[in-house]
C-alpha cells in the first residue's frame, strides 16, 4: 500500500479537513488499490468510482470555502451487501435480491455520509449472512489476502478484506454470530461488535423482525486501528426512530481496570497459537496497568447452545424450504440443512419461550461477574484460520465450527460489546485475533482495553 491508503481514517480526515490532502487524492488512491487487488480477492461486489470522486470533489470545495465537512471528511468506506445504500441493490448475497435497490440509505450509512465519509464499494457476504465463510452464488468467493487456501471467515468477509488491503479505510458490517470479529481476526485488523441497541440496525417498517435479529444482530465498524473504531462509533451511535431497539447511552461510570482471561473456554480445546495470542494480549494489558485475573465465564455452555438453537429455529422459520420465492445458494442451502440438523431447533412455543426466559438468568450471572471484572479477554476462534468451506460437510463440520466459536456466539446471545484486535501471528504467519468483551454498554471500556493490546503486542 502507498502512504495514503495505509493511513488510519482519523489521520486521513484530519489532513483533508486541514486542506493538506485533497479528498479527491484520497479516493483516487483507494480506487487504484481496488483496481489492483479486487479482481483477485473479490472483496467488493460493486465499485462506486464516479460517485465517490464526485463526493470527494464536494468535500474539497467545502474545505476550500472554509466549511468543516465533518469528522470523517474524505474517508472512503465500504458498505456490506446487507446494509441499505441507495446506490445499489441490498442483495444480502442472494440472487433473489439482485435487483432490490432500497428507497433510502440505512441510518448508519446516512450518519457516515453526514460525517463526510464517502462510500466506495459494497462488501461481499454469504447468503443472508448465514455462514461463517464468505461465498455465494451471486458474487462468488472472497479470498484471504494472506493465504488463498485459508478462509476469510464471514459474514462481513468482503469488508474486512477491503479494509485490510487498503481498498477502504473503514467499513460497515454487522455481527449476528461473529460476523465482524471473525473476518477481522483473519486478516489482522480491528472490529467492533457494539452493545445491542448502541448502533441502529435496519429500519423496521411493515415486515416482522425475528427475535434473534432484534437481540443478537448489530451493525458495527471495521477499521485498521482501534482508535478508528472509537471514531466510527461516535458517528454511528444513538437513537434511530426507525429502529425500536436503538438506545441512547450515557457513558459508564468509572470501572476497575481489571480483565479476566479465558484461554480455553469450557476446556474444550484451543490451538497453541491461539493460546499464545491470548497470552500476548494479557501481557500487554498487564504492562499497561490492568490487573489480569483468570476467569471462567458463567453458564457459557448454555449461552452458546441457546444462541445456536434459537438462531437455527428462526432461520428455519424465515429462510427454510418454501419460505423464499427462490432457493438459497448452494452453499447456504447446505449450511442451513447441516446446522439446523445438528442444533435441534425448538419445536414448540413453550420450548422457545423457555429459552428466552433463561437468557435473563445467564445475563444476570455475567453482569455480576463484570461488575467485579469488567472486561473479559479470550480467543475469537479457538482454532487457527481454517480452510474455505470449513463450516460445510455435514453435521460434524457444523458442530465443530460452532464449538470453535463458543465464546463468540455467547457474546451475541447476551448482546455484549466486543472488540476484535490483532495479537500476533500463528506458526504459518497468519494473523491471530483476540476479543475484549465489555459489560453491556461498556463499549468504550472494551475499546480502551483493545487499544492497550494493540499498542503492546
Specify the CATH superfamily of domain 258-456.
Amidase signature (AS) domain (3.90.1300.10)
CA distance 398 to 341: 9
Determine whether 339 is an active site residue.
Answer: no
User: Of 154, 446, 416, nearest to 297 (Cα)?
Assistant: 416
- Given 37, 78, 151, 155, which residue is catalytic? 155
Contacts of 284 (CB under 8 A, 6+ apart): 452, 453, 455, 456, 457
pLDDT at 1: 66
Out of 37, 78, 80, 381, the active site residue is: 80
> Which three cell numbers, joined as nine digits, stand for 14?
484530519
CA distance 285 to 451: 9
CB 238 within 8 A of CB 356: no
Say which of 37, 151, 179, 195 is annotated catalytic: 179
Q: Where are the domains of the chain?
A: 9-236, 258-456
Question: How many of the other CB atoms lie within 10 Å of CB of 394?
Answer: 12
Tell me whether residue 234 is one of the annotated catalytic residues. Answer: no
Answer for the pair 154, 76: CB distance below 8 angstroms, yes or no: no
Q: Buried b vs exposed e over 294-326: b needs ≥16 C-beta within 10 Å?
A: ebebebbebbbbbbbbbbbbbbbeebbeeeeee
Q: Which residue has the cell 440438523?
A: 341
Neighbours of 90 (CB within 10 A): 19
Residues 133 and 151: beta-carbon distance below 8 Å:
yes
Task: Compute the Cα dihedral for 27, 33, 36, 40 and give only its sign.
Answer: negative
The CA dihedral of 52, 56, 59, 65, to the nearest 10 degrees, is -140
Q: What CA–CA distances, in Å, run from 267 to 42, 263, 370, 401? A: 37, 9, 21, 16
Please classify residue 29 by burial: count the beta carbons closer than 10 Å to its beta carbon, then call 0-12 exposed, 13-18 middle and 19+ buried. buried
Distance CA 296, CA 299 (A): 9
Q: What is the CATH number of domain 9-236?
A: 3.90.1300.10
Q: Confirm whether 155 is a catalytic residue.
A: yes
What is the reported pLDDT for 253?
74
Same fold, 9-236 and 258-456: yes
Query: Could you identify the residue written with the cell 474444550?
Result: 268
**Distance separating alpha carbons of residues 393 and 134, to the nearest angstrom:** 16
Q: How far apart are CA 245 and CA 240, in angstroms?
A: 9
The list of the chain residues with pLDDT below 70 reads 1
Residue pair 368/134 in contact by the 8 Å Cβ criterion: no
Amino acid at each position: 500500500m502507498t502512504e495514503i491508503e495505509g493511513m488510519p481514517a482519523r489521520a486521513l480526515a484530519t489532513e483533508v479537513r486541514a486542506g493538506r490532502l485533497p479528498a479527491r487524492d484520497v479516493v483516487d488512491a483507494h480506487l487504484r488499490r481496488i483496481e489492483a487487488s479486487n479482481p483477485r480477492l473479490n472483496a467488493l461486489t460493486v465499485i462506486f468510482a464516479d460517485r465517490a470522486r464526485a463526493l470527494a470533489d464536494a468535500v474539497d470545495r467545502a474545505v476550500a470555502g472554509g466549511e468543516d465537512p465533518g469528522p470523517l471528511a474524505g474517508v472512503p468506506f465500504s458498505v456490506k451487501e446487507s446494509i441499505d445504500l441507495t446506490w445499489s441493490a441490498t442483495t444480502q448475497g442472494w440472487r433473489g435480491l439482485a435487483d432490490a435497490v432500497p428507497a433510502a440509505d440505512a441510518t448508519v450509512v446516512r450518519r457516515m455520509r453526514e460525517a463526510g465519509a464517502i462510500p466506495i464499494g459494497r462488501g461481499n457476504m454469504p447468503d443472508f449472512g448465514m455462514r461463517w465463510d464468505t461465498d455465494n452464488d451471486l458474487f462468488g468467493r472472497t479470498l484471504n489476502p494472506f493465504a488463498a487456501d485459508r478462509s476469510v471467515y464471514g459474514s462481513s468477509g468482503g469488508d474486512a478484506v477491503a479494509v485490510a488491503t487498503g481498498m477502504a479505510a473503514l467499513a460497515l458490517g454487522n455481527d449476528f454470530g461473529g460476523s465482524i470479529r471473525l473476518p477481522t481476526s483473519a486478516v489482522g485488523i480491528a472490529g467492533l461488535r457494539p452493545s445491542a441497541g448502541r448502533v441502529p440496525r435496519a429500519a423496521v417498517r411493515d415486515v416482522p423482525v425475528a427475535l434473534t435479529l432484534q437481540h443478537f444482530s448489530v451493525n458495527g465498524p471495521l477499521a485498521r486501528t482501534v482508535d478508528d473504531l472509537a471514531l466510527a462509533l461516535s458517528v454511528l451511535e444513538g437513537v434511530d426512530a426507525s429502529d425500536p431497539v436503538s438506545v441512547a447511552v450515557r457513558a459508564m461510570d468509572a470501572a476497575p481496570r481489571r480483565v479476566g482471561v479465558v484461554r480455553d473456554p469450557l476446556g474444550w480445546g484451543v490451538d497453541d497459537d491461539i493460546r499464545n495470542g491470548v497470552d500476548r494480549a494479557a501481557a500487554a494489558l498487564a504492562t499497561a496497568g490492568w490487573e489480569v485475573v483468570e476467569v471462567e465465564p458463567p453458564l457459557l455452555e448454555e449461552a452458546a447452545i441457546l444462541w445456536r438453537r434459537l438462531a437455527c429455529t428462526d432461520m428455519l422459520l424465515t429462510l427454510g424450504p418454501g419460505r423464499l420465492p427462490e432457493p438459497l445458494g448452494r452453499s447456504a442451502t447446505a449450511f442451513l440443512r447441516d446446522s439446523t440438523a445438528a442444533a435441534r431447533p425448538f419445536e414448540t412455543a413453550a420450548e422457545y419461550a423457555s429459552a428466552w426466559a433463561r437468557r435473563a438468568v445467564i445475563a444476570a450471572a455475567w453482569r455480576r461477574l463484570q461488575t467485579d471484572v469488567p472486561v473479559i479477554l479470550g480467543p475469537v476462534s479457538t482454532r487457527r484460520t481454517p480452510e474455505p468451506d470449513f463450516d460445510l460437510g455435514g453435521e460434524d463440520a457444523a458442530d465443530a465450527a460452532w464449538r470453535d466459536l463458543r465464546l463468540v456466539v455467547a457474546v451475541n446471545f447476551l448482546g455484549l460489546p466486543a472488540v476484535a484486535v490483532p495479537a500476533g501471528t500463528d506458526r504459518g504467519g497468519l494473523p491471530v485475533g483476540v476479543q475484549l468483551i465489555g459489560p453491556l454498554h461498556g463499549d468504550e471500556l472494551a475499546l480502551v482495553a483493545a487499544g492497550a493490546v494493540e499498542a503492546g503486542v
